[in-house]
């Protein structure tokens, strides 16, 4: 039986893939499809035939609905692990869903649940990479991990997530397919961090890019939201995801928006919102073409350049007030 897997190229997708491969739930020679983090219509590139199995990891079903229907009609079996807004799911005997859109889960935590914790350290890495600090620490505590190990897993999650951001693969330090191959021999992510030269390269790249971003100031600001605009530089495209999480963590009561220029003159947008915001991040972004995401973190793949001023007003109006009381790290 032929096997295929489409996975998001970020920490969550990579660590979900790693867990399934280590557990023997996905063949090592399965044909893989991935890309930069915002390349989510991955199923268009799959070429699977009757009787073959397709596993999808951390890619929203809503944006791949037609492709899933086509695979099922062809005679494929489809297994779906994800935590993004999914829309209407197919009712088909060959469709297997492990989709949960709760705010405190990511795809790798769903895989960890499926595998009954067999490779939980990789799930901890993914949760940290997705900005889910509390679930990551809860899982680490459940398995008795030492604080020094938890900190190293957190750093690895951040670096794997950082690597996925860019408009094109040329922006990244590593193609996600190459990074998946580098991860595969390591049952323990701590060994990858200790011994893989990829880890050191990501450390150096991340430090340089975040130093370049250190002087960034808000482009538009209101009581309940701040909007930043990045320059058209490779470092800015790479740093955008980690930077959005960091800015949100430093100003946890406000919605945080980050605009990144595209090579075609338009813009992409990332949004982080507080835990108790009146409007979820994915609900805000789905109001725009190419928008989607999760309750606390979402984005829009294309905003016309001429719409930025009106978009900024819309964002500030959607989040008019800071959120009081306890808040959680972005998810």
CATH (domain of 141):
3.90.1640
Are 58 and 181 within one domain? yes
Are 182 and 265 within one domain? no
CA distances (Å), 195 to each of 13, 94, 185, 317, in order? 22, 41, 11, 49
Are 19 and 148 within one domain? yes
Tell me whether residue 329 is in a domain: no
User: What distance in Å separates the CA atoms of residue 269 and residue 288, rounded to the nearest whole number?
Assistant: 11
Are 164 and 273 within one domain? no
**Residue 290, domain extent:** 220-318
Tell me whether residue 211 is in a domain: no
Are 166 and 20 within one domain? yes
Tell me whether residue 327 is in a domain: no
CA distances (Å), 299 to each of 59, 76, 239, 289, in order? 14, 31, 15, 11
Strand partners, 277: none
CB 323 within 8 A of CB 271: no
Residues 6+ apart with CB under 8 A from 280: 273, 295, 296, 298
Are 177 and 304 within one domain? no
Phi, psi of 75 (to 5 degrees): 105, 15
Residue ending a domain, choose from 172, 205, 238: 205
pLDDT at 7: 98
Are 176 and 29 within one domain? yes
pLDDT at 328: 46
- Residue-by-residue pLDDT tens, the chain, 331 positions: 699 999 999 999 999 999 999 999 999 999 999 999 989 889 999 999 999 999 999 999 999 999 999 999 999 999 999 999 899 999 999 999 999 999 899 999 999 999 999 999 999 999 999 989 999 999 999 999 999 999 999 999 999 999 999 999 999 999 999 999 999 999 999 999 999 999 999 999 999 999 999 989 999 999 999 999 999 998 999 998 889 988 998 999 999 999 999 989 999 999 999 988 989 999 999 999 889 888 899 999 999 999 999 999 999 999 999 987 554 444 4
Residue ending a domain, choose from 170, 205, 240: 205
pLDDT at 330: 47
User: What distance in Å separates the CA atoms of residue 217 and residue 233, rounded to the nearest whole number?
Assistant: 16
Are 297 and 236 within one domain? yes
Are 131 and 255 within one domain? no
Are 239 and 135 within one domain? no
pLDDT at 13: 98
Are 104 and 139 within one domain? yes
How many domains would you assign to the chain?
A: 2
Are 195 and 277 within one domain? no
pLDDT at 215: 87
pLDDT at 329: 46
pLDDT at 1: 63
In this structure, the number of other CB atoms found within 10 A of the CB of residue 267 comes to: 22
Tell me whether residue 72 is in a domain: yes
């Amino acid at each position: 039986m032929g096997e295929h897997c489409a996975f998001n190229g970020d920490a969550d997708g990579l660590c979900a893939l790693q867990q399934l491969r280590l557990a023997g739930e996905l063949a090592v020679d399965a044909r893989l499809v991935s890309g930069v983090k915002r390349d989510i219509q991955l199923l268009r590139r799959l070429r699977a035939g009757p009787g073959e199995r397709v596993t999808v990891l951390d890619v929203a079903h809503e944006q791949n609905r037609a492709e899933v229907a086509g695979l099922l009609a062809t005679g494929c079996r489809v297994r779906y692990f994800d935590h993004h807004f999914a829309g209407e799911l197919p009712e088909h005997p060959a469709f297997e869903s492990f989709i949960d859109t709760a705010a405190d889960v990511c795809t790798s935590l769903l895989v960890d649940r499926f595998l009954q914790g067999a490779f939980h350290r990789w799930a901890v890495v993914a949760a940290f990479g997705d900005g889910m600090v509390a679930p990551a620490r809860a899982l680490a505590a459940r398995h008795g991990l030492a604080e020094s190990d938890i900190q190293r897993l957190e750093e690895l999650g951040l670096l794997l997530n950082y690597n996925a951001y860019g408009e094109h693969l040329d922006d990244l330090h590593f193609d996600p397919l190459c990074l998946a191959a580098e991860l595969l021999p390591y049952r323990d992510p701590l060994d990858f961090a200790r011994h893989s030269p990829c880890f050191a390269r990501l450390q150096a790249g991340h430090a340089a890019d975040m130093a370049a971003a250190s002087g960034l100031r808000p482009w538009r600001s209101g009581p309940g939201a701040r909007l930043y605009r990045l320059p058209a530089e490779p470092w800015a495209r790479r740093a955008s995801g980690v930077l959005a999480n960091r800015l949100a963590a430093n100003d946890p009561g406000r919605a945080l928006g980050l605009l990144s220029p595209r090579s075609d003159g338009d813009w992409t947008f990332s949004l982080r919102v507080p835990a108790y915001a009146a409007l979820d991040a994915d609900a805000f972004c789905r109001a725009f073409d190419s928008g989607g995401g999760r309750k606390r973190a979402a984005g829009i793949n294309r905003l016309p350049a001429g719409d930025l001023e009106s978009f900024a007003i819309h964002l500030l109006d959607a989040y008019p007030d800071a959120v009081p009381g306890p808040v959680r790290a972005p998810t």
